[in-house]
């Protein structure tokens, strides 16, 4: 084993909290990982890992060493990837995850363009409408919309997704347009029942986020059903702009209260910090960031 292999084993032991988990993560034998740890401790001259029958935890010196070493190893891998990318066109399977609706409308078209530019890469997309454990689901990269979970170790902002209020032209023709959020008390609002508090809508008023309770005669638990209800003139709804852009382009709905729109929702590319980021993954993240930069979100 090389010196780098020994150091990677130490990092994995800290992150997995035991030698067996580290060995499984690295695809090495338990004896091999144990020898690597012994070599690292011999080299630095102090105990780095305190072992029990069930758990291995870093000593104070071990934790300090891990924090410095982790960043250094990532820099080394990044340098290696940059050099290898200049020599060889990346290839292989890239496993990507994203929310169902966003994947269909935006992630798939972006992937099609990416595959056209990189014929040696394959992409497999899995859709999850929840935050997932990338390692558990065997996913290289996930596009996540909304606040990041504490468990997310690596992320890059791809876009800020606007939320808008909208209704069908026929609704506005019959009931008029609200001029201020307080006017919604006189309007039919389409409420999504899938989440608690969905009848409390956010607005930006005088530079601050305010909320207001709304109501209406029609409610539903699915975003697609709500969008269709809005096109049928059943009321005013709220949705991410990316989700209803096709309806706007077709003239089926129009936005309203634009100057009171709530803060946008961030969309991030996330990946596991315990895995070396392959060149194909890095390229796809860069591609998405560039593509979504000019998108009409």
Which region among 72-81, 130-139, 203-212, 225-234 has the lowest average model confidence (pLDDT)? 72-81
Q: Answer yes or no: do 102 and 76 share one domain.
A: no
Residue 75 has pLDDT above 90, yes or no: no
Residue 275 scores a pLDDT above 70: no
Please, what is the average pLDDT of the chain? 88
Can you tell me the distance from the alpha carbon of 297 to that of 282, in angstroms, rounded to the nearest whole number?
A: 23
Domain final position from 86, 105, 122: 86
CB 35 within 8 A of CB 70: no
Q: What is the CATH number of the domain that holds 247?
A: 3.40.190.290
* 62 token code pair: 């071990």
pTM value?
Answer: 0.67
pLDDT, tens digit, 9 for 90 and up, residues 17-70: 888 888 888 889 999 999 999 998 889 899 999 987 778 889 989 888 888 888
Do 142 and 119 belong to one domain?
yes
188: containing domain: 163-260
Q: How confident is the model at residue 195 (pLDDT cuts 50, 70, 90)?
A: confident
pLDDT at 220: 95
Residue 197, Cβ density class (10 Å: 0-12 exposed, 13-18 middle, ≥19 buried): exposed
% of the chain surpassing 90 pLDDT: 53
Same domain? For 278 and 151 the reply is yes
Residues 95 and 41 in one domain: no
Predicted confidence at residue 118, as pLDDT, reads 92
pLDDT in tens, 113-168: 999 999 989 999 999 877 777 777 778 899 999 888 776 668 899 999 999 999 99
Does 199 share its domain with 145?
A: no
Give the number of other Cβ atoms within 10 Å of residue 209's Cβ.
10
**221 and 233, same domain (yes or no):** yes
Which of the listed residues 49, 64, 86 is the one where a domain comes to its end?
86
The highest-confidence range among 4-18, 82-96, 238-252, by mean pLDDT, is 238-252
Non-local (6+) Cβ contacts of 234 within 8 A are: 171, 188, 190, 216, 217, 218
Q: Are residues 97 and 237 part of one domain?
A: no
Q: d(Cα 126, Cα 100) in Å, to the nearest integer?
A: 8
Tens digits of residue pLDDT in 280-291: 888 999 999 999
Residues 7 and 72 in one domain: yes
Q: 253 or 105: which carries more pLDDT confidence?
A: 253
Cα–Cα distance, 101 to 169 (Å, whole number): 24
Query: Both 256 and 232 in a single domain?
Result: yes
220 shares a domain with 168: yes
Q: What pLDDT sits at residue 259?
A: 95
Task: Give the chain's domain count.
Answer: 3
Helices (H), the chain: 3-16, 19-26, 30-44, 60-87, 100-102, 108-117, 169-175, 223-231, 241-249, 279-293
Coil, helix or strand at residue 170: helix
Q: Are 20 and 167 contained in the same domain?
A: no
Q: Are residues 31 and 147 in the same domain?
A: no
CATH code of the domain covering residue 30: 1.10.10.10
């Amino acid at each position: 084993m090389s010196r780098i292999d020994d150091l990677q084993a130490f990092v994995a032991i800290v992150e997995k909290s035991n030698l067996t988990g580290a060995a499984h993560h690295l695809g090495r034998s338990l004896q091999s990982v144990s020898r690597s740890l012994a070599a690292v401790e011999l080299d630095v001259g102090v105990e780095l890992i305190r072992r029990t029958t069930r758990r291995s935890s870093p000593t104070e010196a071990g934790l300090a060493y891990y924090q410095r070493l982790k960043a250094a190893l990532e820099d080394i891998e990044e340098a290696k990837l940059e050099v290898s990318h200049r020599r060889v066109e990346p290839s292989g399977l890239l496993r990507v995850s994203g929310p169902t609706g966003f994947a269909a409308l935006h992630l798939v078209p972006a992937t099609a363009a990416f595959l056209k530019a990189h014929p040696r890469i394959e992409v497999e997309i899995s859709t999850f409408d929840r935050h997932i454990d990338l390692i558990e689901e065997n996913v290289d990269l996930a596009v996540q919309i909304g606040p990041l979970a504490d468990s997310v170790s690596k992320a890059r902002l791809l876009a800020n997704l606007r939320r808008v209020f909208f209704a069908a032209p026929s609704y506005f023709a019959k009931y008029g347009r609200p001029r201020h959020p307080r006017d919604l008390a006189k309007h039919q609002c389409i409420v999504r029942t899938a989440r608690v508090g969905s009848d409390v809508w956010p607005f930006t008023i005088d530079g601050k986020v305010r909320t207001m309770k709304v109501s209406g005669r029609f409610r539903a638990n699915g975003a697609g059903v709500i969008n269709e209800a809005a096109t049928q003139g059943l009321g005013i709804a709220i949705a991410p702009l990316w989700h209803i852009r096709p309806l706007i382009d077709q003239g089926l709905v129009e936005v309203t209260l634009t100057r009171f729109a709530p803060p946008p929702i961030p969309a991030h590319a996330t990946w596991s910090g315990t895995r070396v980021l392959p060149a194909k993954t890095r390229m796809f993240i860069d591609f998405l960031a560039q593509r979504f930069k000019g998108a009409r979100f």
